[in-house]
C-alpha cells in the first residue's frame, strides 16, 4: 500500500496553521506550501512561494497528493479569492478547509469560486424583517451560504446583545455620548489589531478611529434618510432555525444601528435554512395546494412566507383593531385557525387566547406562534369544552354557522352563549346560500344571526361594521 500524501496550503500565520493541524490527524507524507519561512511541528517537507498572493508559477504535481488541506484564519470566503484562483489554476477541485476551533469543511474549489461569480443579491433571497426579532447569533462557515442544513447547528447560539460588542458600545455612544475610544468595542478590536489581525479593514489604531467615525456617519445617515440598500455587501445576513427563529449571521454594524434606531423593517439575505424549517414550509405549501389553489385562509406573518396569498379579506383585521372598545384588554378568538388574528392584536398590547379544535390547524397554529415569537395562549379543544368564559372581547369570525347545522350543536351553542361574561363580540356571519348550509338545522340570515346571539348572551345591541367578501358581514356586538 502506498504512503498517504497530504499537501497543506497555508494561508495563515504559523500559530494558526499549527493550531489547525494539531486538531486533525495527518499521517503519511506531509508537504507544507507557504509564503512564510516557517515549518510544521511534524515531519514534513516545505515548498515556499515568493509571492504573498499565491500567484507564483510552481513546478508541482498537485494530482500526486491524496488530499489537499487549506488552512485559513477564519471561515469567510471573500478573503481568500486569490487562494481559490491559485488552486483552480492548477486544476485542484476537492479541498478540505481548516480554521481554528471549527470542524473540517470538505468542499470543492468550483463551489468556492461560485460565490464570486454571481451577485450576492441575485444568488440570495431577500426578505424584510423586524430587526428587533433577531435575538441570537450563530456561527456557520460562509461556504454554507445558500444551503439547507440539518443537525443541531441552530441550537449552538448566543445572545446578540451580549455577544456583539458593537451593539452595546453603540448604545453607550448614542445614549450617553461615550467616546468610541472608551468603549469595549474599540478596546476589543484594537487588541486584535495589536496581535497582528486585521478587523473590519483596520490594521492600525488610526484605521480604527476612522472606522468608528464612519460608523457615526452611517448611523446619522440611516437616522435621517432611512435604510438605503444600495450595495450587495451592505445586506444583513440571517440564518433560519428549525423552528423559524431568525439568527444573526453577518452585518453586525448595520443591524446594531437598525436595532438602536428601532426601525420596523429592514431587508436581509437568508443564508442558511434548517432542514426541519424547510420541511415545515413544504407542509404549509401542501396544505395550501389542497385547500385552495395554493392560497391560505389567513396571512402567515413570518417573513419567510411572503409568497403565499390568502382567501380572506385582510381588511377585517384592521376593522376589528379600530373598533374594539378602549377598555378591552383580554381577547378570546374562537376557531382561531392558525392564530393570525391573535398575533396581530398582540402587537397592539392585547392579551389573547386562541382556541382551535382541529388537530391539523392547531399543529400549524402552534408552529407559527413559536416561529413568530408570539406570547398569546393557544388551547386545542372544542369551544364547548373550554372552561374559561370571562373575557373583554370575543372574536367569532366565520365560525358560529358551524354550530347551527344540527340540533345537538345548536343546543350546545345556546348554552355556551349563556355562559359568556364579555363586553363585546365581533361576529362575521356566513351567507345563507352557501352549499355547506344545505340541510342545516338552522340557517340564520346576517342580522337575524346577530339578534340570535344577543338574545342568548349578555350582549344588548349590534351594529354592522362592514360588508365582507362572499356576501358575508362583520358585526360589532356590545353590552
- Of the ranges 53-67, 186-200, 380-394, which one carries the lowest mean pLDDT score? 53-67
> Which residue, 81, 100, 117, sits at the end of a domain?
117
Residue 125 lies in a domain: yes
Give the tens place of pLDDT for each residue, 396-434. Answer: 999 999 999 999 999 999 999 999 999 999 999 999 999
Residue 302 lies in a domain: no
Q: Are residues 68 and 147 in the same domain?
A: no
Closest by CA to 131, choosing from 243, 268, 291, 292, is 268
* Confidence at 235, pLDDT banded by 50, 70, 90: confident
Residue with cell 390547524: 361
Residue 297 lies in a domain: no
Q: Are residues 387 and 472 in the same domain?
A: yes
Judge whether residue 101 has pLDDT over 90: no
Taking the C-alpha atoms of residue 199 and residue 252, their distance in angstroms, rounded to an integer, is 13
> Is the C-alpha dihedral spanning 111, 113, 115, 118 positive or negative?
negative
Q: Are residues 231 and 205 in the same domain?
A: yes
More confident residue, 150 or 37: 150
Establish how many alpha carbons lie within 13 A of residue 460's alpha carbon, considering only the half-sphere containing its beta carbon. Answer: 2
Give Cβ neighbours of residue 421 (< 8 Å, ≥ 6 apart): 389, 390, 391, 458
Residue 295 lies in a domain: no
Q: Are residues 149 and 241 in the same domain?
A: yes
Give Cβ neighbours of residue 352 (< 8 Å, ≥ 6 apart): 330, 331, 332, 333, 341, 342, 343, 345, 346, 376, 377
Judge whether residue 174 has pLDDT over 90: yes
Residue with cell 444600495: 230
Say if CB 235 and CB 128 are below 8 A apart. Answer: no
User: What pLDDT score was predicted for residue 121?
Assistant: 36
Please compute the mean of the pLDDT values over residues 82-88 and round it to a whole number.
82
Residue 293 lies in a domain: no
Q: Are residues 46 and 23 in the same domain?
A: yes
Residue 247 lies in a domain: yes
Q: Are residues 139 and 88 in the same domain?
A: no
Q: Are residues 38 and 55 in the same domain?
A: yes
Overall size of the chain counted in residues: 479
> Which residue, 86, 117, 148, sits at the end of a domain?
117
Say if CB 416 and CB 422 are below 8 A apart. Answer: no
Q: Are residues 94 and 149 in the same domain?
A: no
Give the domain range for residue 395.
315-478
Please compute the mean of the pLDDT values over residues 26-32 and round it to a whole number.
81
Taking the C-alpha atoms of residue 101 and residue 103, their distance in angstroms, rounded to an integer, is 7
Q: Are residues 99 and 141 in the same domain?
A: no
* Confidence at 120, pLDDT banded by 50, 70, 90: very low
Q: Are residues 145 and 181 in the same domain?
A: yes
User: What pLDDT score was predicted for residue 215?
Assistant: 95
More confident residue, 435 or 17: 435
Judge whether residue 250 has pLDDT over 70: yes
Judge whether residue 395 has pLDDT over 90: yes
Q: Are residues 58 and 135 in the same domain?
A: no
> Which residue, 223, 252, 276, sits at the end of a domain?
276
User: What pLDDT score was predicted for residue 53?
Assistant: 53
Establish how many alpha carbons lie within 13 A of residue 347's alpha carbon, considering only the half-sphere containing its beta carbon. Answer: 15
* Confidence at 232, pLDDT banded by 50, 70, 90: low
* Distance set, CA 11 to CA 60, 81, 319, 428 (Å): 18, 11, 61, 66
Q: Are residues 102 and 129 in the same domain?
A: no
Say if CB 302 and CB 368 are below 8 A apart. Answer: yes
Taking the C-alpha atoms of residue 17 and residue 81, their distance in angstroms, rounded to an integer, is 19
Residue 343 lies in a domain: yes
Query: C-alpha grid cell for residue 212?
Result: 468608528
Q: What do you get for the CA distance between the two ends of the chain, in Å?
A: 90
Residue 308 lies in a domain: no
Number of domains in the chain: 3
Most confident of the ranges 14-23, 88-97, 260-269: 260-269
Give Cβ neighbours of residue 347 (< 8 Å, ≥ 6 apart): none
Taking the C-alpha atoms of residue 141 and residue 120, their distance in angstroms, rounded to an integer, is 16
CATH code assigned at 362: 3.40.50.150
Give the tens place of pLDDT for each residue, 278-318. Answer: 999 999 989 888 877 778 888 888 999 988 888 777 788 99
Give the tens place of pLDDT for each residue, 306-364. Answer: 888 887 777 889 999 999 999 999 999 999 999 999 999 999 999 999 999 999 999 99
Amino acid at each position: 500500500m502506498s504512503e498517504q500524501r497530504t499537501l497543506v496550503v497555508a494561508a495563515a500565520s504559523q500559530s494558526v496553521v499549527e493550531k489547525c493541524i494539531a486538531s486533525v490527524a495527518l499521517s503519511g507524507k506531509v508537504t507544507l506550501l507557504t509564503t512564510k519561512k516557517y515549518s510544521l511541528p511534524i515531519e514534513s517537507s516545505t515548498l515556499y512561494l515568493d509571492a504573498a498572493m499565491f500567484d507564483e508559477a510552481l513546478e508541482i504535481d498537485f494530482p500526486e497528493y491524496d488530499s489537499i488541506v487549506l488552512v485559513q484564519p477564519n471561515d469567510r470566503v471573500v478573503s481568500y479569492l486569490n487562494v481559490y484562483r491559485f488552486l483552480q489554476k492548477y486544476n485542484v477541485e476537492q479541498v478540505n478547509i481548516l480554521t481554528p476551533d471549527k470542524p473540517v469543511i470538505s468542499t470543492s474549489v468550483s463551489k468556492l469560486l461560485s460565490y464570486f461569480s454571481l451577485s450576492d443579491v441575485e444568488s440570495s433571497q431577500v426578505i424584510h424583517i423586524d430587526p428587533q426579532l433577531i435575538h441570537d447569533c450563530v456561527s456557520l462557515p460562509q461556504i454554507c451560504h445558500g444551503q439547507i442544513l440539518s443537525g443541531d447547528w441552530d441550537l449552538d447560539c448566543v445572545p446578540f446583545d451580549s455577544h456583539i460588542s458593537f451593539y452595546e458600545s453603540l448604545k453607550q455612544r448614542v445614549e450617553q455620548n461615550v467616546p468610541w475610544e472608551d468603549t469595549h468595542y474599540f478596546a476589543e478590536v484594537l487588541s486584535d489589531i495589536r496581535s497582528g489581525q486585521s478587523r473590519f479593514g483596520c490594521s492600525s489604531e488610526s484605521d480604527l478611529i476612522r472606522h468608528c467615525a464612519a460608523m457615526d456617519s452611517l448611523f446619522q445617515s440611516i437616522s435621517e434618510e432611512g435604510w438605503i440598500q444600495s450595495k450587495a455587501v451592505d445586506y444583513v445576513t440571517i440564518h433560519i432555525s428549525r423552528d423559524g427563529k431568525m439568527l444573526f449571521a453577518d452585518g453586525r454594524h448595520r443591524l446594531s444601528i437598525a436595532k438602536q434606531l428601532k426601525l420596523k423593517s429592514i431587508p436581509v439575505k437568508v443564508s442558511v435554512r434548517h432542514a426541519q424549517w424547510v420541511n415545515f414550509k413544504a407542509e404549509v405549501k401542501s396544505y395550501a395546494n389542497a385547500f385552495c389553489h395554493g392560497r391560505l385562509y389567513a396571512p402567515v406573518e413570518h417573513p419567510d412566507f411572503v409568497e403565499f396569498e390568502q382567501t380572506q379579506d385582510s381588511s377585517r383585521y384592521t376593522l376589528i383593531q379600530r373598533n374594539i372598545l378602549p377598555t378591552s384588554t383580554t381577547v378570546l378568538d374562537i376557531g382561531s385557525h392558525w392564530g393570525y388574528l391573535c398575533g396581530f392584536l398582540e402587537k397592539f398590547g392585547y392579551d389573547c387566547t386562541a382556541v382551535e379544535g382541529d388537530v391539523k390547524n392547531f399543529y400549524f397554529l402552534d408552529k407559527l406562534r413559536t416561529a413568530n415569537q408570539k406570547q398569546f395562549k393557544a388551547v386545542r379543544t372544542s369551544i364547548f369544552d373550554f372552561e374559561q368564559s370571562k373575557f373583554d372581547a370575543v372574536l367569532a369570525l366565520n365560525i358560529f354557522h358551524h354550530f347551527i347545522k344540527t340540533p345537538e350543536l345548536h343546543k350546545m351553542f345556546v348554552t355556551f352563549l349563556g355562559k359568556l361574561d364579555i363586553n363585546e363580540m365581533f361576529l362575521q356571519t356566513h351567507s345563507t346560500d352557501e352549499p355547506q348550509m344545505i340541510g342545516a338545522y338552522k340557517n340564520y340570515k346576517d342580522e337575524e344571526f346577530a339578534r340570535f346571539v344577543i338574545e342568548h348572551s349578555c350582549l344588548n345591541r349590534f351594529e354592522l361594521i362592514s360588508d365582507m367578501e362572499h356576501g358575508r358581514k362583520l358585526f360589532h356586538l356590545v353590552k
